[in-house]
Amino acid sequence: MATQQELYNELVEQLKQTALLGSCASLLGWDEQTNLPPGGAEHRANQLSLLAGMTHELATDKRIGELLSELENCNEPIEANSPLAANLREARRAYDRATKLPRKLVEEMSRVTTLSQQAWIASRKKSDLQEFLPWLKQVIALKREEAEAIGYEGGVPYDALLDDYEPAAKTVDVQTVFATLRDELVQLNAEIRDSGKQPDLSIITRSYPIEAQKKFSRKAAEAIGFDFDRGRIDIAAHPFCSGIGPGDCRLTTRYDEHHFPGAFFGTLHESGHGMYEQGLDPAAFGTPMGNATSLGIHESQSRMWENSVGRSKAFWKHLYPEAQATFPEALSDVSLDNFYAAINDVRPSFIRVEADEVTYNLHIMLRFELEQLLISGELEPEDVETVWNETFEKFFGITPPDASQGCLQDIHWSAGLLGYFPTYALGNMYAAHFYQQAETDLGDLDAQFARGEFGPLKTWLNENIHSRGKQYPAAELVQVVTGESLSHKPLVKQLRTKFNEIYGL
């Protein structure tokens, strides 16, 4: 009879083989967004569909189920929260979920979303939802089919999709925490509006040559800790991070000569994701202990480096002289205080990835509402633009002028990533908890940033978040690291402290 260790070794080998094949698909997916000529879309869709089916076959191999059962029923003790315990728990969860999905559905989802993303890029450029609509209908139909195959309780099909990105999270719980956060954000936004102060936004829309932006953004990413010996950065229609595997992490961003924050903070955001990927244990690749615990925790890292660090006064005390030297025409006559106010301007805007910290979560809540309706069938794809604009008007008091600044702005739906959006707002809340604890443990972070010292925070995140992989579920990880349960309060406190000062509230 095989020992526990022998069974476990065999399971790990199976999981790693599956992950290795999946990483091949990830590389093709990255190439699709960065280098693929339009004429190759159909062939790429077929390649990715085949790989998706093969990966699914490996992931649902009956031997994995047998190994899991034997290990779960083994008489040898398993220490709670040990790598073995975490890998068994999460491998069981992934196996049970995967075996509910037919291979044909997995392959079709991959094929359709590959073509859909190419169609989205073209439609977004022309701001033509009608051109993209046939693809959106196919994606939504497939995601509804996926939700039914996985199953859900309480009549909420969205739970089945949310669980893929934020394991164990329930739609009703997210709705509750979002409602409380929304009330606080609406109040803060109203106070900022009534303050009468408006930063000079012409500062960030002057000419910032793209080549200079590339060098400056890359240098900032290196400064905070992204390792370009194990990663790279390229251009894509929508910024993303792809962790291909140990030693290979790909970032993308997009540049606009007349909008400095877009590429710069997009690069910091994706670098935060990238440092999580680079901070995972390479020896654990393919196993749950070598993967991020949830997308919300992943987003906590990107949002922390983008906002808590990158939009802080201390960060720019260190970096602003170099920014002025790099962009003399745009910044030579601009004070640090005026630049800092401009990059932290709070006002309703159309584009989520360019939104300020106060209104950003409202963008997420809008998408969260619409996704639930799309999956339940209460909203059909052909009505998305109308309902989007109506909801946007209700949330922000402005109406998108066209689809590219409205319902066509994000790549997520074309990629089949329904259930993903809530993790951004959850990530903001997780980030505030972690940042608060890091400052307690490390001392005055602002003083460190002003000196250009980002290593202590990165190391703290490596040790407390990244290297733990899926050792703890997201909610438990917050409790273990901070001693607190997830709450909107640390985020609201963080925002209040910052914007009370900027706007004199």
The DSSP output letter for 205 is: G
Q: pLDDT tens digit string along 143-170?
A: 999 999 999 988 999 999 999 999 999 9
Catalytic residues: 270
pLDDT at residue 238 is higher than 90: no
The per-residue b/e assignment along 296-332, b for 16 or more CB within 10 angstroms, e otherwise, is bbbbbbbbbbbbbbbbbbbbbbbbbeebbebbeebbe
- The one-letter amino acid code at 373 reads L
Instruction: Output the pTM of the full model.
Output: 0.94
Contact status, residue 117 vs residue 40, Cβ threshold 8 Å: no
Q: pLDDT tens digit string along 351-365?
A: 998 899 999 999 999
Q: pLDDT tens digit string along 39-90?
A: 999 999 999 999 999 999 999 999 999 999 999 998 888 898 899 999 999 9
Q: DSSP for 228-251?
A: TTSEEEEE-SS--EEEEETTEEEE
Q: pLDDT tens digit string along 76-106?
A: 888 988 999 999 999 999 999 999 999 999 9
Instruction: Supply 279's token pair.
Output: 């901070």
pLDDT at residue 190 is higher than 80: yes
Q: pLDDT tens digit string along 368-377?
A: 999 999 999 9
Q: Taking all residues of the chain, what is their mean pLDDT, rounded to a whole number?
A: 96
Span 234-263, average pLDDT: 96
How many angstroms separate the Cα of 147 from the Cα of each of 84, 159, 178, 218, 325? 30, 8, 23, 40, 53
Q: What is the dihedral of CA 90, 92, 95, 98, to 10 degrees?
A: -70
6 Cβ contact list (under 8 Å, min separation 6)? none
Contact status, residue 49 vs residue 29, Cβ threshold 8 Å: no
Whole-number Å distance between alpha carbons of 406 and 409? 6
Contacts of the segment 494-497: beta carbons below 8 A, 24+ positions apart: 494/308, 494/432, 494/435, 494/436, 495/185, 495/188, 495/357, 495/358, 496/188
The confidence score (pLDDT) of residue 354 equals 87
